[in-house]
Chains A and B, each alone.
Chain A
Amino acid sequence: MKNFLRFKTSLLPGTLIFLTLLSFAFLLFYTLYTSQEGTVFTQIDSRIIGLLKFTLYQAFLSTVLSLVVGVLLAWALAHQSHFKGRGLLVALFSSSLVLPTLIVVFGLIGIFGRNGYLNQASLFLFDHSFGAYIYGLGGILLAHVYLNASFASRALLHSFESIPKEKYKLAKSLNFSVFERFLYVEYPALKSTLLSIGSTIFLLCFTSFAVVLLLGGSPSYNTLEVAIYEAVRLDFDIVMALKLALIQLSISAVLVVLSSGFRTGLANLKTSHTLIPWRETKILRVVQWFIIGLFTLFFVLPLVVIVVDGIEADFGRIFQAPLFIKSFVTSLSLATISSILTVIIAVVLSHTRRNFSLATRLGVKPFAKLLDGIIAFSGNLYLAIPSLVMGLGFFLLYQKTEGSEVVWATAALLTANVLMSLPFALSVLTPAMHKTAQRYDKLAFSLGLTKLQRWIYVEYPYLKSSLGYVFALAFCFSLGDLGIIALFGSDEFSTLPWYLYQLMGSYRNADAAGVALVMLVLVLGMFIVIPKLFKGKM
């Protein structure tokens, strides 16, 4: 008890936040459950089974493909470790984490769509069009691989580079083939990352919304998330939306619990060069360069298309449009507030969590591990509660209370943005804060530093780079998200992704290209500038 009192100032705020988060989850579930009065939750028809089957099927295929591409790319980059621009390429691939899904889809349509560059080139060269093949399962898989393979490759590259070079020397001396080398040397080092990244990708694809909404094409390619959206916005069938939301919520929660054992953080992993003192065989080098070249083209071309098409837009008209100005201001304001809240909550939760994991604090207490787990779960609520389900909860609360739509929409978006960024923020900050405490706890405690002294002289100098990264990540996530806004979006309340979606839906492609370019510049700019501001390098 004496020890608990000693750490009360770092335990109380974290406990309050985690209680608030869990109460929110309970309130959401309660609202959804009580609102479905009169319907039979267990009555699941063939349409729902079809939706569920397709949702799981596309998530499974997307995960397998993303992992295969990610492993190939990481393998090629690990063995071609000394070419100019490699660092930039790896950094570019990792930016896929913050690229707004809507922009990626817009870029992919620009390349692979009916009027995309690939079809135009094919028509010009062979007088043959591939048609609108991007709409459907193919397009969904393409977009999911684009978004997930690139960031999976970064984590996998980190695993490749952590293999001791003695193991490569051993493989060489035993005359291993490339397949044997992969099987006995490389795969064991990748296994845990594959499980961890794979389960995260599966969860992200299972709850994928914008990609399926834009590329699904027909009802046969709908997922649960899109069906919830259509039930609310197009069919006004709240009962169906609730039924789908509860199914989605139950399955997501089960998936999160099942995968929690091996799902680790997606921290900003640093990559380095593996120094293997010999060159790969010529054929292997050709294969590796082919993989790097092909994926680079696949990754860069959609972004180039956004820039090329966007530059031609009439920015004078776009910037003067009242709805653009409103969306721009709303997006920036929400992103700023969400990022500040995310950083504060992540710091407080990480601060509380490290009390339960360090022996110098409360780590030796009997309930430490359990309390640590509960607080960690509260920070990862988003993975268990998909944003559309959360949005539906807010939508129902709004209808029940008859409050202002703008107020409810703002609250819903801020909550969703913070919860969406928290798992990533915690995966970066928790290990960093744990490390500073592990390193300096004894010294800081024995010197009797005050809380303020400790934060200014010890914590902040070590954490500022991570804080900048987390802030940038939260800002970009918030700026690009087309989730809850799909339920609340209107002319009165609009964000940039919602505005872009409206432009794409009304075939105002020139303006859409301009807005997409603005969003791309904003997101990439912020992702580069904000961490530098925190480091004081600007």
Chain B
Amino acid sequence: MLNIKNLQYQYKNADDLYTYNLEVNPSEVVAILGQSGSGKSTLLDIVAGFIEPMKGSVILDEQELLGLSVEKRPITILFQNHNLFEHLSVQKNILLGVNKTLKDSIEEVEKVQDILKEVGLEAYEHKLASQLSGGQQQRVALARVLMRREPVLLLDEPFSGLDDATRIEMLELVQKITQEHKLHTIMVTHDIDDCNRIANHIYKMQNHILVKQ
């Protein structure tokens, strides 16, 4: 279980104090609702390690994550934009960061092909990321989630730029991946329909405090 307890953050030169409490079980999607600037993405930035909270804890299966550097946290994050390096191929994008060398092994390359099949992008491995549509790019980003096999998936409004049909497809894909791979998924969104579609639990930012609905 991912347990976020009494996490507090305050931006420099600002009065507002954000407070978060949250629990996510394996194979569950937890959605966080809130208006722009309400502090939803700040939570993801803290959990991912981009910013440090003033106090609190983020515990995954009894391991405290807050002391770990970004790259050591068992987390994959998807943003609204810039999830891929546009000048690299789909295959390289998925493999980047999996190992520390510049050469990819045959096993890894084969695994990429299997994963691409799973996200519906078979035979796309040699295409450049810039040649893909917005929906296809987010599928590649999800393929990377499967390749990295990290137990926590953070989604920072990754499908808000997509058309309705593609967005629904992607949400269902997230749900499927979460359940099959027993991920702890936190999805930030401002769309109540998205929450209702796939979330097991919904939380809302109210007056800078995260409240379970």
Contacts and interface: CB of A to CB of B under 8 A. Distances in A.
B112 interface: no
Contact of B85 (A360, A446, A457): A457
Tell me if B's interface is mostly helix, strand, loop or mixed: loop
Residue of B12, B72, B85 contacting most chain A CB atoms (<10 Å)? B85
Contacts of B92: 457
Interface stretch (B75-83, B159-167, B172-180, B202-210): B75-83
Contacts of B12: 364
Interface residues of B, number: 24
A350 to B, nearest CB: 20
B50 A360 contact: yes
Contact of B97 (A364, A448, A462): A448
B54 interface: no
Contact of A449 (B51, B77, B96): B96
A456 B102 contact: yes
A452 B102 CA distance: 8
Contacts of A448: 70-72, 97
Given A445-B50, A445-B71, A440 B82 contact: yes
Nearest to A366: B12
Contacts of B48: 442, 446
B126 interface: no
A450 B100 CA distance: 6
A439 interface: yes
A262 B41 CA distance: 35
B108 to A, nearest CB: 14
Nearest to A452: B102
Given A6-B69, A360-B50, A443-B83, A449 B102 contact: no
A73 B116 CA distance: 55
From A440, A442, A449, A450, residue with most partner B Cβ within 10 Å: A442
Contacts of B51: 359
A20 interface: no
Nearest to A456: B102
A445 B70 contact: yes
B97 A447 contact: yes
A446 B96 contact: no
B46 interface: no
A359 to B, nearest CB: 8
A122 interface: no
B71 A447 contact: yes
Interface string B70-114: 111101110100110101100010001100101000000000000
B82 A446 contact: no
B62 to A, nearest CB: 23
Main secondary structure of the interface of A (DSSP, over half): helix
Contacts of A457: 85, 88, 92, 96
A453 B96 contact: yes
A447 B78 CA distance: 11
B75 A446 contact: yes
Nearest to B45: A442
A443 B79 contact: yes
Contacts of B79: 442-443
Contacts of B75: 446
Nearest to B70: A445
Nearest to A447: B97
Contacts of A445: 49-50, 70-71
Contacts of A439: 82
Contacts of A6: 69
Interface string A449-476: 1101100111001100000000000000
B130 to A, nearest CB: 11
Nearest to A441: B50
Contacts of B97: 447-449, 453
A442 B50 contact: yes
B63 to A, nearest CB: 17
Interface string B8-42: 00001000000000000000000000000000000
A463 to B, nearest CB: 12
B76 A446 contact: yes
A532 B48 CA distance: 40
B60 to A, nearest CB: 15
A64 to B, nearest CB: 41
A453 B71 CA distance: 14
A446 B88 contact: no
B71 A446 contact: yes
Contacts of B69: 6
A456 B48 CA distance: 24
Given A364-B12, A447-B96, A453-B100, A458 B72 contact: no
Residue from B12, B73, B88, B97 with most neighbouring chain A CB atoms (10 Å) = B97
A446 B77 contact: yes
A339 to B, nearest CB: 25
Contact of A440 (B50, B77, B85, B102): B85
A446 B102 contact: no
Contacts of B70: 445-446, 448
A144 B136 CA distance: 54
Contacts of A359: 51
Interface centre among B77, B82, B96 (most CB of A within 10 A): B96
A535 to B, nearest CB: 13
A447 B48 CA distance: 11
A450 B87 CA distance: 19
A446 B73 CA distance: 8
B126 to A, nearest CB: 16
A450 B96 CA distance: 10
Given A447-B71, A447-B97, A448-B70, A442 B77 contact: yes
A369 B82 CA distance: 27
Contacts of B88: 457, 461
Nearest to A359: B51
A450 B77 CA distance: 18
Contacts of B85: 440, 443, 457-458, 461
20 contacts: A359-B51, A364-B12, A440-B85, A442-B48, A442-B79, A443-B79, A443-B82, A443-B85, A445-B49, A446-B70, A446-B76, A448-B97, A449-B96, A450-B100, A453-B97, A453-B100, A453-B102, A457-B85, A457-B96, A461-B87
Which are the 3 A-B pairs with shortest beta-carbon distances?
A448-B71, A447-B97, A445-B70
Interface of B: 12, 48-51, 69-73, 75-77, 79, 82-83, 85, 87-88, 92, 96-97, 100, 102
Interface of A: 6, 359-360, 364, 439-440, 442-443, 445-450, 452-453, 456-458, 461-462
